[in-house]
Structure 1
Amino acid sequence: MVAPLEVGLNVRDLRKMREFYETVLGLSFVNEIRVPAVKARQAALSEQAYVVVRLQASNGERLKLLAPESPAAAAPQPSFVLDQPGSSYITFIIDDIRSACSRVLAHGVQCMTGPEPVEVRPGTWLVFFRDPEGHIVELVQYDDIAAYRPDLQAAG
């Protein structure tokens, strides 16, 4: 790999989703590009044109919000992350989960795990919630990030 991970999300309301990820999670706008239908088909992404907005986290990871011209209807959302075959979620490792959880709740988002972070194992705290369009997001805080990711210390 030559760059940090990039994740793409299929979205219906690009403006709303961009605002959410910038405001609530602090991602920074990188660019916005319109891809014509012919290229979207060649890339196996869509029969129609779409717009992609790239947002970036502080360590270089990027989130791509992809909005087709005529978005599909919303899919039903199960109560539990692993109740839907093929489900996925995005994880952001952060250093202040309580503050982040408060920001999420202040924006009217219901946490799937409840209003407080869950200590899933000693020293590992998490919160799961759905963004405004139902994509599952996980926030994780490690009491000892160096023990979990010693490679980050070596690289930094």
Structure 2
Amino acid sequence: MTAPMEVGLTVSDLPRMRAFYEGALGLAFVSEIHVPSAKAQEAAMSMGGYTVIRLQTPYGERIKLLSPDDAPSVRTGTAHKILDRADSSYVTFIVNDIDGVVARLIAGGAEPMTGDKAVEVRPGTFLSFLRDPEGHIVEIVQYSDIERYRPDLAGTK
């Protein structure tokens, strides 16, 4: 790899989703471009054109919010539990104030999946799953010792 990982999310309401990820998670706006229909088809992205907004974390990872000019014709169902769907996926954000971040996400329109309190899944590891305003699953994790989990991040706090 030559750059930090990027994740793409298909969205319907681009302004709302941009506001959600910038406001609730503090992601920074990078760019907005429109890809015309011919290029979108050639790239196997969409039969029509689409707009992409790139947002970035302080560590350089990016989320791409992709909004097709025409609404998608197929919508995947949502199972109650994440791993009960064969095509399930989610985006993880590692934070140092899980309660504050979860509160901001809920205030921004996210739906909690694990209740209003973080779950300690093993000693010192807390998580919370939520659905963003369009149903994408977002995981928020806090480690009591981030350097033990990610020694490559030692000294980057």
Q: Indicate the larger mover: 99-108 or 49-58.
A: 99-108
Cα deviation for residue 56 of structure 1 reads: 0.4
Tell me which residue corresponds to 2:27.
27
Amino acid at match of 1:123: G
Cα deviation for residue 106 of structure 1 reads: 2.2
Cα deviation for residue 154 of structure 1 reads: 7.2
Tell me which residue corresponds to 1:38.
38
Q: Distance in 2 between matches of 1:149 and 1:103?
A: 25
1:120-131 maps to which residues of 2 (within 5 A)? 120-131=121-132
Q: Does 1:8 align with 2:28?
A: no
Q: Distance in 2 between matches of 1:90 and 1:125?
A: 16
Tell me which residue corresponds to 1:106.
107
Decide whether aligned partners of structure 1 residues 34 and 108 sit closer, same or farther in structure 2, where only a CA change above 3 A counts.
Answer: closer
Identity %: 54
Q: Distance in 1 between matches of 2:10 and 2:4?
A: 20
Q: Deviations over 1:82-120 (max 9, x none)?
A: 111111000001111011111122234321000000001
Amino acid at match of 1:83: D
Tell me which residue corresponds to 1:65.
65
Q: Distance in 1 between matches of 2:154 and 2:65?
A: 30
Judge conservation of contact 2:110–2:131 (CA < 8 Å) in 1: yes
Judge conservation of contact 2:143–2:149 (CA < 8 Å) in 1: yes
In the superposition, the TM-score normalised over structure 2's length comes to 0.94
Q: Which runs of 5+ in 1 are unaligned?
A: none
Amino acid at match of 1:137: V
Amino acid at match of 2:38: V
In the superposition, the TM-score normalised over structure 1's length comes to 0.95
Q: Indicate the larger mover: 51-60 or 75-84.
A: 75-84
Judge conservation of contact 1:11–1:71 (CA < 8 Å) in 2: no
Displaced runs of 4 or more, over 4 A: none
SS at match of 2:79: coil
Amino acid at match of 1:103: R
Cα deviation for residue 129 of structure 1 reads: 0.3
Decide whether aligned partners of structure 1 residues 102 and 154 sit closer, same or farther in structure 2, where only a CA change above 3 A counts.
Answer: closer
Cα deviation for residue 54 of structure 1 reads: 0.2
Cα deviation for residue 153 of structure 1 reads: 1.7
